[in-house]
Amino acid sequence: MRLLVTGAAGFIGSNFVHQTVRERPEVQVTVLDALTYAGSEASLAPSRAAITFVEGDVTDAELVDRLVADADVVVHFAAESHNDNSLSNPWPFVQTNIVGTFTLLEAVRRHGTRYHHISTDEVYGDLELDDPRKFTPETPYNPSSPYSATKASSDLLVRAWVRSFGVQATISNCSNNYGPYQHVEKFIPRQITNLIDGIRPKLYGQGLNVRDWIHVEDHNSAVWTIIDKGRIGETYLIGADGEKNNREVVELILELSGLDSDAFDLVSDRPGHDMRYAIDSSKLRTELGWAPRYSNFEDGLAATIDWYRANEAWWRPQKDATEAKYAQIGR
């Protein structure tokens, strides 16, 4: 299989490539990544000798066409992915997430290539804390932020290209990922690396917002399950029943770091901050037989903390610029 993976110099895509090189050595992997502030070739280093890396933009139609022509399967991770950035400057989100997906869809349409689209649970909006429901594939789209609105737009393009042009596509919407190689702008790595720097963790608002955490390796094993066995045109929700509020996560990071669990600060809230995400992944589990392997969040988090301690050279170059951006928005 010749596999084109977009956005694999980022967090989830780089882990996907490492898992693929490790577990499926017969797959020929080509990565397309623009190396934005969020991408780093260093994230691909462990697999670098086994893959082809192309630096380029998913909105570059000629380049995309050439790469798709040589692929059997495309997995599209590339995106602008951070909600806070989408509030400060939405344009790159429209360009990469919507126009980039359009560009890939036109190429896979021309070449009849199997396409898997990586998306997020945020397209469904949010749930109240006491709502017994979780998101299902039937939940209506109701995105809140510029980021989630552009991801929702890209999902709808995929659905339309399946129905109107017969494109061979599947979609997955996953909950919040954690694990190695996640940019220090994101919640968990930000707090871990702040603590390494002697800065107290920062919780938005009251810290009561709930995210449904999944280890990145479980997200990626689910993506492979969908590539192997998913039904064309279908949407699969990926989640591992990992609901926790942000305060609980910070308390755990503090405890695992040997510090008092109340040594955090509350900072101003994110505008439009989604209250709660929760995934019902029963379709993926029942129809395709997938199950997560990282069932213990505390163990996964401890391993993630160890990874950031051992890999300061990987994250240090991003840290100051990231915190400078947060300082500008008072968070």
Helices 100-111 and 146-165 cross at an angle (nearest 10°) of 20
Q: Does 224 bind ligand NAD (CB under 6 A)?
A: no
* Residues 33 to 92 in contact with ligand TDX, rule: CB under 6 A: 81-83
SS3 225: helix
Contact stretch for ligand NAD (CB under 6 A) within 72-80, 159-167, 188-196, 261-269: 72-80
Q: How far is the CB of 173 from ligand TDX (least distance, A)?
A: 9
Examine the residue annotation and report whether 274 is marked as an active-site residue of this protein. Answer: no
The binder of ligand NAD chosen from 104, 108, 157, 174 (CB under 6 A): 174
Q: How far is the CB of 67 from ligand TDX (least distance, A)?
A: 24
Task: Pick from 30, 120, 221, 245 the residue near ligand NAD by CB under 6 A.
Answer: 120
Cβ closest to ligand TDX, residue 85 vs residue 170:
85
Annotated catalytic, 147? yes
- Based on the shown chain and the rule CB under 6 A, indicate whether residue 11 belongs to the binding site for ligand NAD: yes
Alpha helices in the chain (DSSP H): 11-23, 61-69, 83-88, 91-93, 100-111, 146-165, 187-196, 216-229, 246-256, 282-288, 297-310, 312-328
| Contact call for residues 75 and 6 (beta carbons, < 8 A) | yes
From the list ligand TDX, ligand NAD, none, pick the one residue 202 interacts with, judged by a Cβ distance below 5 to 8 Å according to partner type: ligand TDX
Bridge partner list, 115: 74, 169
Any residues with CB less than 8 A from the CB of 326 and at least 6 apart, and which? Answer: 84, 185, 202
* Dihedral of the alpha carbons of 159, 163, 167, 172, in degrees to the nearest 10: 30
Let me know: does 14 contact 51? Beta carbons within 8 Å.
no
By DSSP bridging, strand 210-212 and strand 243-245 are antiparallel
Residue among 80, 121, 126, 155 flagged as catalytic = 121
* Residues touching ligand TDX, count (CB under 6 A): 16
- The 3-state DSSP composition of the chain as helix, strand, coil percent (nearest 5) reads 45, 15, 35
The verdict on whether 138 is a catalytic residue reads no
Residues found near ligand NAD in the complex (CB under 6 A): 6-7, 9-13, 33-36, 38-39, 57-59, 77-81, 96, 100, 118, 120, 151, 174, 176-177, 183
For the annotated catalytic residues, the residue numbers are 121-122, 147
Residues found near ligand TDX in the complex (CB under 6 A): 81-83, 120, 122, 176, 186-187, 190, 202-204, 209, 211, 246, 270
